[in-house]
Amino acid sequence: MTIQDQLQNLPGLRAADLPELGEEQHRQLLALIRATNDKQEHEYASALDHALALVPGVLRGTIRKMILG
């Protein structure tokens, strides 16, 4: 899969929207987006764990299911 295809698969971003970027710049952009997404997922999980620590133990499972679906 090419870098342009990988960028195309990201929500709200198409490689064609950035025609002036070269192949290496597309790679850097994709790496930055992936790193940001990983960081965001980690921060979300940490925030959820912190919030659930404030909930009484017997309700944590139920609350977690309500939040995560």
User: pLDDT exceeding 70 applies to what percent of the chain?
Assistant: 81
Cα 32 to Cα 63: distance, rounded to the nearest angstrom: 33
Q: What is the C-alpha to C-alpha distance for residues 60 and 69, in angstroms, rounded to an integer?
A: 13
Tell the burial category of 38 from Cβ atoms under 10 Å away from its Cβ (0-12, 13-18, 19+): exposed
Q: Could you report the per-residue pLDDT of 2-27, keeping only the tens digit for each?
A: 766 776 677 666 667 777 878 888 88
The more confident residue out of 25 and 43 is 43
Q: Dihedral of CA 47/50/52/55: which sign?
A: negative
**Domain residue ranges of the chain, discontinuous segments joined by +:** 23-69
- Give the pTM: 0.66
Average of per-residue pLDDT values in the chain: 85
